[in-house]
Amino acid sequence: MAVNWCEQHGLCFDAINDNLQEYIELYGGNSRKICCDYYIDDKSIHPNAVNEEVLYVTNGCTN
């Protein structure tokens, strides 16, 4: 649900609850620990409260 909402609003992710293939190859396996620049917890924010201040961390879809 949260991923669909993000896609509908122009937010795309390189990976969701998984590591990028380049990190898997770099470290020789897919650790349970996720490497990322930003964590988005869809349980801690109400979709109606999302505004420009929340969305500034991304420049939109690039894939």
What pLDDT sits at residue 62? 47
What pLDDT sits at residue 47? 64
DSSP 14-37: S-SSS--HHHHHHHTS--SSPP-S
What pLDDT sits at residue 28? 92
Local confidence pLDDT in tens for the 63 residues of the chain: 778 888 888 888 888 888 888 888 998 998 877 777 777 776 766 667 666 555 555 445 544
What pLDDT sits at residue 31? 82
Instruction: Give, as one character, the DSSP assignment of residue 21.
Output: H
What pLDDT sits at residue 63? 47
Query: 12-46 burial, b for 16+ CB within 10 Å, e for fewer?
Result: ebeeeeebeeebeeeeeeeeeeeeeeeebeeeeee
Query: What are the residue boundaries of the structural domains of the chain, listed by start?
Result: 2-55
Residue type, 29: G
Helical (H) or strand (E) element with 43: none
